[in-house]
């Protein structure tokens, strides 16, 4: 195939495999070579097993030769955030706590990828237990931004975004609790989709905040995000919050659906703190939709200013409960300095968890403690309902909302690590979609004067991913942002 194989889209690779112009072994080897060449600088991968990857690819080629293709991803290399269980592969959550843990089972999304024939290429770095916005909270390594390796990839799915941006993988899976797919996608200039809460099974996703967590794809194009969603979406009886419905065809007629749509611009997203160059790029995108005949409506989401506070109460409360299972007794890090069992709990947790995870556990335990429960947790739940209502009212008027994904572009590594509040502000535009359970997509919509990518976020109604993808796709195909690629320098 002409051109660099590692910047092809999923759609192009599917075609190349189908026409036999490339084999899965060649494709997999090319990506492994690419990882070898650039991952020293990017540090997107926590681990990968070359032999196992090539075995999977060989099996795919044999299936294809025998005319027994499993599904749409047959032979395609896919990377997985190190928080999603793959049988017999490490599942570290980028934490010392799970440093030596190997998963005994597959997450439902992984069974789906396997049934579709995917080659599972490796484990992608993240903030520890998905808590963070820069992948600097990983206990394993920092992932750097392929567009400028002195900057962060975003987080917490930083490895998933950077690997796709750097050409190490055509597609990956991430998870999004408050923006962790969309924000790194925007920092790295790729597409990231957070589906409706309940559309994709959480079975086998290590829980951070169970009422907010959702798995989704990171890809090079909007169409590819739809292709991946098609594979992973659908009802799962093993996840009690899974929605019992069959997903529609996400790629059908994407190119034909050109609107015009009624699109809302929430004024609260354009207030103080928004970088002027990001603002200009988003406004240009809004103008583009307006020029295409879309009606642009100014919308108000009056409880938006409470979203960060509410999130850091609910997410930490759920995290403090979910992370109670890591006690040093069974599969986690176990302190060898402990005297009795209580000491074992204390020391194993003190040694196993990083600073940010401890901060969240302490915060979450506090807001759930008797005496503070009503004042914090219960109140936060009430405001969460109001935030949800704000969106319901907005979607009575419009088909989608256009916003920035993040208030700023990728920042320098180390710039925000000492100031948790500044870090938390990274998610100001993404968090409310998780609180409301609605889908959101981030797609590249420009570059700033330093050549760093800017992401446009489009939010949609629950279960309206097909519509969301169509709105995003119409913008993408009229621009060339997804055709530009970074050139991460080879290792020193
Ligand atoms: N950055 C947010 C946090 O630190 C969101 C993380 C996520 O979506 N997993 O909690």
pLDDT tens track, the chain, 492 positions: 555 789 999 999 999 999 999 999 999 999 999 999 999 999 999 999 999 999 999 999 999 999 999 999 999 999 999 999 999 999 999 999 999 999 999 999 999 999 999 999 999 999 999 999 999 999 999 999 999 999 999 999 999 999 999 999 999 999 999 999 999 999 999 999 999 999 999 999 999 999 999 999 999 999 999 999 999 999 999 999 999 999 999 987 787 777 899 999 999 999 888 999 999 999 999 999 999 999 999 999 999 999 999 999 999 999 999 999 999 998 899 999 999 999 999 999 999 999 999 999 999 999 999 899 999 999 999 999 999 999 999 999 999 999 999 999 999 999 999 898 889 988 999 999 999 999 999 999 999 999 999 999 999 999 999 999 999 999 999 999 988 999 886 544
Judge if the beta carbon of residue 430 lies within 6 A of ligand 1. no
Task: Verify whether residue 442 is a known catalytic residue.
Answer: no
Judge if the beta carbon of residue 164 lies within 6 A of ligand 1. no
Whole-number pLDDT of residue 491: 47
Please identify, by atom number, the ligand 1 atom nearest to the C-alpha of residue 360: 10
Distance CA 245, CA 213 (A): 19
Mutate to test the pocket of ligand 1, among 129, 133, 159, 429 (most ligand atoms within 8 A of CB): 133
CA dihedral for 388, 394, 396, 401, sign (positive or negative) = negative
What Å distances lie between residue 184 and 91, 213, 256, 349, 435, CA to CA?
21, 16, 29, 28, 19
- Quote the tokens at residue 275: 């970088």
Task: Provide the residue range defining the domain that includes 99.
Answer: 10-268+279-299+390-483
Please identify, by atom number, the ligand 1 atom nearest to the C-alpha of residue 131: 4
Does 36 reside within a domain? yes
- Smallest CA separation from ligand 1 atom 4, residue: 132
Torsions phi, psi for 476 (to 5 deg): -60, -45
Does 195 reside within a domain? yes
Distance of CA 252 from the midpoint of ligand 1 (Å): 32
Distance CA 203, CA 315 (A): 18
Please identify, by atom number, the ligand 1 atom nearest to the C-alpha of residue 431: 5
Distance CA 131, CA 359 (A): 10
- Quote the tokens at residue 232: 């992973």
Whole-number pLDDT of residue 252: 74
Judge if the beta carbon of residue 178 lies within 6 A of ligand 1. yes
Distance of CA 106 to the CA centre of its chain: 19
**For residues 365, 371, 375 and 376, what is the CA-based torsion angle, rounded to 10 degrees?**
0
Distance CA 137, CA 153 (A): 12
Does 384 reside within a domain? no
Report the number of distinct structural domains present in the chain. Answer: 1
Distance of CA 303 from the midpoint of ligand 1 (Å): 20
Does 151 reside within a domain? yes
Does 71 reside within a domain? yes
Distance of CA 338 from the midpoint of ligand 1 (Å): 32
Annotated catalytic residue, options 180, 410, 426, 442: 180
Does 234 reside within a domain? yes
Whole-number pLDDT of residue 479: 97
Sheet hosting strand 77-81, strand order edge to edge: 45-47, 119-124, 77-81, 171-176, 214-219, 191-194, 440-447, 453-459, 400-404, 262-266, 295-299
> Within 10 A of 71 (CB to CB), how many other CB atoms are there?
15
- Quote the tokens at residue 404: 């920035």
Helix residue ranges per DSSP H, 293-340:
307-322
- Quote the tokens at residue 326: 């890591």
Q: What is the biggest distance separating any 2 CA atoms in the chain, rounded to whole angstroms?
A: 71
DSSP string, 72-133: TTTT-EEEEETTB--TTSB--TT-GGGTT-B-SS--HHHHHHHHTT-EEEEEE--SGGG--S
Mutate to test the pocket of ligand 1, among 124, 130, 185 (most ligand atoms within 8 A of CB): 130
Whole-number pLDDT of residue 265: 98
Q: Could you say which DSSP state residue 205 is in?
A: B
Distance of CA 203 from the midpoint of ligand 1 (Å): 19
Distance of CA 179 from the midpoint of ligand 1 (Å): 6
Does 376 reside within a domain? no
Annotated catalytic residue, options 8, 23, 60, 81: 81
CATH of the domain at 52: 3.90.1300.10
Task: Verify whether residue 60 is a known catalytic residue.
Answer: no
Whole-number pLDDT of residue 490: 54
Task: Verify whether residue 300 is a known catalytic residue.
Answer: no
**Residues 148 and 165: beta-carbon distance below 8 Å:** no
Does 325 reside within a domain? no
Torsions phi, psi for 104 (to 5 deg): -85, 0
Please identify, by atom number, the ligand 1 atom nearest to the C-alpha of residue 208: 9
């Amino acid at each position: 195939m002409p051109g660099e194989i590692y910047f092809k889209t999923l759609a192009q690779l599917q075609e190349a495999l189908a026409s036999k112009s490339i084999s899965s072994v060649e494709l997999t080897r090319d990506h492994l070579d690419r990882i070898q060449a650039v991952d020293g600088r990017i540090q997107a991968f926590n681990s990968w097993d070359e032999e196992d990857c090539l075995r999977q690819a060989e099996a795919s080629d044999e299936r294809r030769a025998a005319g027994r293709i499993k599904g749409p991803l047959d032979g395609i290399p896919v990377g997985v955030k190190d928080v999603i269980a793959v049988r017999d592969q490490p599942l570290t959550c980028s934490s010392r706590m799970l440093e030596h843990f190997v998963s005994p089972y597959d997450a439902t999304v992984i069974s789906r990828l396997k049934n579709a024939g995917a080659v599972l290429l490796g484990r992608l770095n993240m903030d520890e237990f998905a808590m963070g916005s820069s992948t600097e909270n990983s206990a394993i390594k920092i992932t750097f931004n392929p567009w400028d390796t002195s900057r962060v990839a975003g987080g917490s799915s930083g490895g998933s975004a950077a690997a796709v941006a750097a050409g190490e993988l055509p597609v990956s899976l991430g998870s999004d609790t408050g923006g962790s797919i969309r924000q790194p996608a925007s920092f790295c200039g790729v597409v990231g989709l957070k589906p409706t809460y309940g559309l994709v099974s959480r079975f086998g996703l290590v829980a951070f905040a169970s009422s907010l967590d959702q798995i989704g794809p990171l890809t090079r194009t909007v169409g590819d995000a739809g292709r991946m969603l098609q594979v992973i979406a659908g009802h799962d009886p093993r996840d009690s919050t899974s929605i019992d419905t069959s997903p529609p065809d996400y790629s059908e007629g994407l190119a034909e659906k050109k609107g015009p749509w009624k699109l809302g611009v929430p004024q609260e997203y354009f207030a103080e703190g928004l970088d002027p160059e990001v603002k200009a790029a988003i406004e240009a995108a809004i103008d583009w939709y307006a020029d295409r005949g879309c009606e642009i409506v100014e919308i108000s989401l009056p409880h938006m200013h409470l979203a960060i506070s509410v999130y850091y109460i609910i997410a930490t409360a759920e995290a403090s409960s979910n992370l109670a299972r890591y006690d040093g007794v069974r599969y986690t890090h176990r302190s060898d300095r402990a005297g009795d069992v209580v000491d074992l709990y204390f020391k194993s947790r003190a040694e196993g968890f990083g600073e940010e995870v401890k901060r969240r556990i302490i915060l979450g335990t506090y807001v759930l403690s008797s005496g503070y429960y009503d004042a914090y947790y219960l109140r936060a739940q009430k405001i969460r309902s109001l935030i949800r209502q704000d969106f319901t009212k907005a979607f009575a008027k419009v088909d989608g909302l256009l916003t920035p994904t993040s208030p700023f572009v990728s920042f320098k590594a180390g710039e925000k690590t000492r100031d948790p509040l500044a870090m938390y502000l990274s998610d100001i535009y993404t968090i409310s979609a998780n609180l409301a359970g609605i889908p959101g997509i981030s797609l590249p919509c420009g570059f700033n004067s330093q050549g760093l990518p800017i992401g446009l976020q489009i939010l949609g109604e629950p279960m309206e991913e097909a519509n969301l993808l169509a709105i995003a796709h119409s913008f993408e195909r009229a621009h060339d942002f997804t055709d530009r690629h970074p050139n991460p320098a080879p290792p020193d």
